[in-house]
A and B are shown apart, each in its own frame.
Chain A
Amino acid sequence: MADITKQQIGAFLGKQGILIAFFAFLIGFTIANPKFLTPDNVLSVIRSSAILGVMALGVTFVVISGNLDLSVGSMMSFSTIVVLDLHDKIGPALAIPAMFAMTLALGAFIGFLVGRLKLNSLIVTLGMLSAIHGLTLTYSGGKNMDIADKEGTWFSVFGQGEALGLPVPILMFVAVAAFLGLVLSKTSFGRKVYAVGGNSTAATFSGIPRARTVFICYLISAACAATAGLIQASRSLGSQNTVGQGLELEVLAAVILGGASLLGGSGTIFKTVIGVLILGFIQNGLLLIGLQFYVQFIVTWVIIILAVWLDIAAKRGKLWSQIA
């Protein structure tokens, strides 16, 4: 009986190593600065992380399907600028669906290139990273985009509003995570995503439509980038063209930190959420500790490596492998 319990604990630890690492950091930062775990701070970190988080949810699908999406940062800038521009031209009620349609078209284009034409996703999305940035700059003429009447628009609800006592960005993050979590774990489409990423050839011979599955993964990723852009635009009601620049790597870091394999076939929405929160809390924790910022870059790297190590150590039940 005792043995079984021990095994069960071992299995749990092995599965949830990243969660353990997460709680270890929370405790560490709280000891360093007791204000770290106050409700205000926790809510503000999760709210800030929601933008990165929503993007990471979509990229999780792409990564599990065995591909990459480096275009999400540019895509988020694009949707932010477009929705802000259209807000004053056609009103928020029309601007939001128009922005989603335009961003989804970009996602569909990438999905077509990677899914149907079978082009390498790294090259395609790296190219789209700069192409979409160029598109955004062309669209805006290089100008910052700002909503004229910042006080009198209901558009601010997505980024600044509250419902059920929680900031709306958090609620949106949770809702999208719950929905996509269900899609990934409970639907046949979700199983197809794992199958295509795990072994594309075997999936094809089993009658799984690889091209369509990959295509839909990129649509999901684009929809998530558009949602992130919506939150971003609503949060500051104005934006630079470069607002999402560099986020693609943070997004990818969060997804990989959560345990999804770059080779495809593994990963879950829940673990991506943990990966996102780890990144968000590290950034905030280092600020609260007040480390000099030049040092912060290095410490961030150390913490990420520690997290990955703890995750792997938990999986094999030992801190280091005997057959290294």
Chain B
Amino acid sequence: MKLRTTLIASTAIVLAGAASAETMKIGITQNNVGVDSYQTTYERAFIAAAEENADVDAVVLDAGGDVARQIAQIEDLIQQDVDAIIIWPTNGEAVIPAVRKAHQAGIPVVVTNSNIAEAGFDFVNSFSGPDNITQGARSAEIMCDKFKDMGIESEAQVVHITGQPGYTTAIERAKGFEDRLPEVCPDVTIVDTQPGDWNREKSQQVMEAFLVKYADIDGVYAGDDNMGVGALNAAKAAGREGIIFVGATNFAVGYEAMAAGDYWGSIYQSPVDDAEAALQTALDILAGEELPFLNYFDTPKITQDNMGDYTKPVF
């Protein structure tokens, strides 16, 4: 009995101590944790980063891909009077009214990973995430450099497998790639573009059709490594060698295929960096720092040549 009282007393002291220091309560509502490894790792990294920082008290929520739930979660966070809200939008349009509410309540909003629609920019303090247009452009540079090494930059033919049609990430990466490639390698042609829906199996089927349709394919650009490896599987099964595969969002399978020499390069985008950048952005805003509206974290090029500098992705 006595022990319990002591415990309660000491807990109360800890709580009081925490409250008296400058604790910042930061709420996050995520898109859909558990649906893929990236988001799962992101959540873990976010919690770890929040725990490491004694001044942060994090409220971690997940919308499970459901817009309505996310809106309710934002409203809950407003009610709880958190110091800042971080949102990974389930839908760039539908969350805007809820974001406006937070803004009107005087709570700073950080959008993470994927931006909301432009109509909502006035209510957002900063966007923290990858720059997908730059990622697409960098993939184009990786591919072009490799073609130059091989001496085929004047004739190479490329096929392009995009993410799910309609997704901002898919559209931006495709745009970055298609705009940059003619600048660096003007004589390389993109002979076909089809969606692989972020799905390895779908991408494999698309690549099978490409292999039938085109006798000569020198390069494949896929919107992420999952699809890139699907395309690689198709080429292997068809016995077509010498194709240069370049992806984005380096996954463990892509990293392994690079190590095996089958896959040329990708863009290293770490969910850990993504999560830590989101938290840091929120903290910087609370500290009164001036941040660019689009506060990108760096996503470097990774190829067979420099992969030793990077650890294998955990997802």
Asked if B195 is at the interface of the complex by the 8 Å CB criterion, the answer is: yes
Task: Using CB atoms, name the residue of chain B closest to A145.
Answer: B37
B35 / chain A contacts, CB cutoff of 8 Å:
137, 142, 241-242
Of listed B200, B204, B209, B229, residue having the most chain A CB within 10 A: B209
Contact A243 B201 (CB under 8 A): yes
Q: What's the nearest-Cβ distance from chain B to residue A224, in Å? A: 17
A240 / chain B contacts, CB cutoff of 8 Å:
36, 199-200, 226
Main secondary structure of the interface of B (DSSP, over half): helix
Asked if A65 is at the interface of the complex by the 8 Å CB criterion, the answer is: no
Q: What's the nearest-Cβ distance from chain B to residue A21, in Å? A: 22
Asked if B39 is at the interface of the complex by the 8 Å CB criterion, the answer is: yes
Contact B199 A142 (CB under 8 A): no
Asked if B165 is at the interface of the complex by the 8 Å CB criterion, the answer is: yes
User: Chain B, 292-315, contact with A by CB distance < 8 Å: what is the 0/1 string?
Assistant: 000000000000000000000001
Contact A137 B34 (CB under 8 A): yes
Asked if B119 is at the interface of the complex by the 8 Å CB criterion, the answer is: no
Binds B, one of A109-117, A283-291, A302-310: A283-291
Asked if A118 is at the interface of the complex by the 8 Å CB criterion, the answer is: no
Q: What's the nearest-Cβ distance from chain A to residue B189, in Å? A: 14
Of listed A51, A141, A284, A287, residue having the most chain B CB within 10 A: A287
Task: Using CB atoms, name the residue of chain A closest to B213.
Answer: A288
Contact A287 B209 (CB under 8 A): yes
Bound complex: CA of A146 vs CA of B252, how far in Å?
A: 9
Number of inter-chain CB pairs below 8 Å: 88
Bound complex: CA of A235 vs CA of B200, how far in Å?
A: 11
Asked if B110 is at the interface of the complex by the 8 Å CB criterion, the answer is: no
Q: What's the nearest-Cβ distance from chain B to residue A235, in Å? A: 7
Q: What's the nearest-Cβ distance from chain B to residue A118, in Å? A: 31
A48 / chain B contacts, CB cutoff of 8 Å:
204-205, 208
Task: Using CB atoms, name the residue of chain A closest to B215.
Answer: A35
Known: A33-B213, A137-B34, A144-B315. A44 touches B40 (CB 8 A): no
User: Chain A, 128-147, contact with B by CB distance < 8 Å: what is the 0/1 string?
Assistant: 00000000010001111010
B205 / chain A contacts, CB cutoff of 8 Å:
48, 283-284
A121 / chain B contacts, CB cutoff of 8 Å:
none
Contact A142 B200 (CB under 8 A): no
Asked if B192 is at the interface of the complex by the 8 Å CB criterion, the answer is: yes
Bound complex: CA of A144 vs CA of B33, how far in Å?
A: 13
Asked if A5 is at the interface of the complex by the 8 Å CB criterion, the answer is: no
User: Chain A, 28-41, contact with B by CB distance < 8 Å: what is the 0/1 string?
Assistant: 00000101001011
Asked if B23 is at the interface of the complex by the 8 Å CB criterion, the answer is: no
Bound complex: CA of A322 vs CA of B201, how far in Å?
A: 46
Asked if A153 is at the interface of the complex by the 8 Å CB criterion, the answer is: no
Bound complex: CA of A235 vs CA of B230, how far in Å?
A: 10
Given A142-B39, A240-B226: 17 more A-B contacts, CB < 8 Å: A40-B212, A44-B238, A48-B208, A137-B34, A144-B36, A144-B37, A150-B256, A236-B200, A236-B233, A242-B35, A242-B199, A284-B208, A287-B206, A288-B209, A290-B192, A293-B165, A293-B194
6 closest Cβ contacts across the A-B interface? A142-B40, A142-B34, A287-B209, A41-B212, A143-B37, A44-B208
- Jot down 12 A-B pairs with beta carbons below 8 A, ordered by A: A35-B212, A48-B204, A143-B40, A144-B251, A146-B252, A146-B253, A241-B36, A242-B199, A243-B200, A243-B201, A287-B209, A288-B209
Q: List chain A positions with a Cβ less than 8 A from chain B.
A: 33, 35, 38, 40-41, 44, 48, 51, 137, 141-144, 146, 150, 160, 232, 235-236, 238-243, 283-284, 287-288, 290, 293-294
Q: List chain B positions with a Cβ less than 8 A from chain A.
A: 33-37, 39-40, 165, 192-195, 199-201, 204-206, 208-210, 212-213, 226, 229-230, 233, 237-238, 251-253, 256, 315
